[in-house]
Amino acid sequence: MICEDARRRIGAEPGVTSRELADHLRDCHACVAFQLEMITLDAHIRRALQEPPAIARARRRLPAQRTWALAASVVLALAATLAVWALRTDNSLAHDVVAHVVAEPQSWADTDAVSEAALDAVLRKSGVILGATPYSVVYARSCWFRGHYVPHLVVHTAHSLATVLILRNETVTTRESFHEDGLYGVIVPGTRGSIAVLAANGAQLDELADRMLLAVRSTNAVK
Amino acid sequence: MRNYPSDIPVSSMGGPATTGVEDDVRITRLFESLRPELLRFALWLTRDRALAEDVVQESLLRAWRSREALKDPACSRAWLLTIVRREHARLYERKRLELVSLNEALEHESNAFLSRDDGEVNALRSAILQLPIEYREPLIMQVLGGFSVDEIARELSLSASAVLTRLFRARNKLRTLYGLTPAPDSLGSEEAP
């Protein structure tokens, strides 16, 4: 499979990876980045479609009975939303992580390694340093997430790209895997806080998370 | 296995006499519960609220008349969405619809829209609405309806590769909105990928 075919396939079904495509992606970082861009774009499309388009108001006046029915359905929808909100659990951390990553699609586009100084600056802002890893960091930003600045990194592994969020203020008790908006992810508990790792496919996510967990250390200069 | 409304007797009138009252109540509730989703689907297809409401109304009527064809209630969503899509297509076959400037329509509504949503999603919605129907329809069926490529192909009477091409082109057009470079598209026909 050549890149053009791979991109057509990805563009048609961003979340689907056939064996042939997987073989291509193993050796083509550019297509991996393209897939991740398309997955994030698809998440935006999905959200955009969730609401009806705001064009063309009803030309006809609603009969009173239908107006009441509409009002009742709005009340019911609000009640349902409140119920869901009330029952919200810490699982929403995974949802928030995905939402954050999807909102930053440009993070997948960088291919050059971030300078050590730039990476260090991002990490120190959150009071951490990164020890040796086999991965090259191609994106590093300090992002506002749930009331704190967190390091948002994208790393090149041997075969893919993965996002890493170092969440020092988010405690989880157990390792949690998830799949949302076409992204696979895992959140692992650390000595302080947790680390979230996301990628377009779930292979080797756990290994990557474990390596990052070992590499992330606290500094004394916590701000 | 999904039910497909291919077995709907389009011109049939009246419901089957053998359906029990309880079943009818159950199926009415089921249809009503899916109505908002059907309307949203129809709105994205028609780009016109009044037309979408007509399409949904007509679709529910057709579905009701053919309710015996719905063998598995778990498939009702896909079944009804397919009926809505067909009703929309039928509408185009029956009459040439009045063309409305989409830009004007969007402009007309933009203030209310922007007040409750961010500009980026708004821009994406506008872009989706402006996609030609041959690209918008499979995209909406896939993303909103949850249909597979094969199912879309069957429904639109296209080959799977043609559907893949249309889906690719739809997303490729939307990529530019995000400042992303569109992927090369050297396909002359829809059959290549």
Which residue did the predictor score with more confidence, A199 or B71?
A199
Average pLDDT, chain B: 76
pLDDT digits (tens, 9 = 90+) for A181-192: 888 899 999 888
Confidence band for A131, pLDDT divided at 50, 70 and 90: confident
What integer pLDDT is reported at residue B6 of this predicted model? 45
Confidence band for A70, pLDDT divided at 50, 70 and 90: low
Tell me the C-alpha distance between B117 and B124, whole Å: 11
The DSSP code sequence of A114-147 is: PPHHHHHHHHHHTTEEE---SSEEEEEEEEEETT
- Average of pLDDT values for A64-83? 54
Residue A158 CA neighbour count, 13 Å, CB half: 6
- Average of pLDDT values for B65-70? 81
- Average of pLDDT values for A65-89? 52
User: In this structure, are strands A176-180 and A128-130 parallel, antiparallel, or unpaired?
Assistant: unpaired
Greatest Cα-to-Cα distance within chain B, rounded to the nearest angstrom: 58
Instruction: Name, in order, each residue with C-beta under 8 angstroms of A176's C-beta and a sequence gap of 6 or more.
Output: A91, A93, A94, A186, A187
Residue A1 in tokens? 């499979």
Distances (CA, A) of A188 to A184, A216, B131, B184: 14, 13, 42, 39
Confidence band for A197, pLDDT divided at 50, 70 and 90: very high
Confidence band for B110, pLDDT divided at 50, 70 and 90: very low
| Highest mean pLDDT out of A50-54, A91-95, B146-150 | B146-150
Tell me the C-alpha distance between A114 and A138, whole Å: 5
Confidence band for A203, pLDDT divided at 50, 70 and 90: confident
Check if A100 contacts B (Cβ < 8 Å): no
- Partner residue facing B193 (CB), from A5, A41, A42: A5
pTM: 0.64
B147-150 long-range contacts, Cβ below 8 Å, gap at least 24? B147/B78, B147/B81, B149/A12, B149/A13
What integer pLDDT is reported at residue B29 of this predicted model? 83
**In the predicted structure, residue A5 carries a pLDDT above the cut 60:** yes
Q: Are A182 and A158 in contact (CB under 8 A)?
A: no
Residue B43 in tokens? 């709105």
pLDDT digits (tens, 9 = 90+) for B3-14: 545 444 333 334
Residues of A within 8 A of B102 (CB-CB) are: 55
Q: Are A48 and B125 in contact (CB under 8 A)?
A: yes
**In the predicted structure, residue A130 carries a pLDDT above the cut 50:** yes
**Residue A147 backbone zone (phi > 0: left; psi -120 to 50: alpha; other: beta):** left
What integer pLDDT is reported at residue A60 of this predicted model? 47
* A contact test, residue of B53, B106, B143 with most A CBs within 10 A: B143
CB contact under 8 Å between B165 and A12, yes or no, is: yes
Confidence band for B102, pLDDT divided at 50, 70 and 90: low
- Any idea what the Cα angle at residue A187 is, between residues A183 and A192, rounded to 5°? 150
Residues of B within 8 A of A34 (CB-CB) are: 183
ipTM: 0.73
Tell me the C-alpha distance between A134 and A157, whole Å: 7
Check if A48 contacts B (Cβ < 8 Å): yes
Look at residue B190 and give its three-state secondary structure. Answer: coil
Q: Are B111 and B42 in contact (CB under 8 A)?
A: no
> Using only C-alpha atoms, what is the Rg of chain A?
21
Q: Find the range with the poorest average confidence among A210-219, B64-73, B159-168.
A: B64-73
- Partner residue facing B167 (CB), from A12, A47, A60: A12
| Highest mean pLDDT out of A25-29, A104-108, B99-103, B137-141 | B137-141
pLDDT digits (tens, 9 = 90+) for A38-53: 888 888 898 889 888 8
Tell me the C-alpha distance between A195 and B178, whole Å: 28
User: In this structure, are strands A194-199 and A148-156 parallel, antiparallel, or unpaired?
Assistant: unpaired
**In the predicted structure, residue A71 carries a pLDDT above the cut 70:** no
Q: Are A9 and A21 in contact (CB under 8 A)?
A: yes
Residue A53 in tokens? 């388009």
CB contact under 8 Å between B105 and A56, yes or no, is: yes
Tell me the C-alpha distance between B23 and A203, whole Å: 46
Distance of CA A183 to the CA centre of its chain: 7
Q: What is the DSSP letter of A195?
A: E
pLDDT digits (tens, 9 = 90+) for B114-141: 334 467 778 888 889 888 889 999 999 9
| Highest mean pLDDT out of A70-74, A90-94, B5-9, B150-154 | B150-154
Residue A95 in tokens? 């949802």
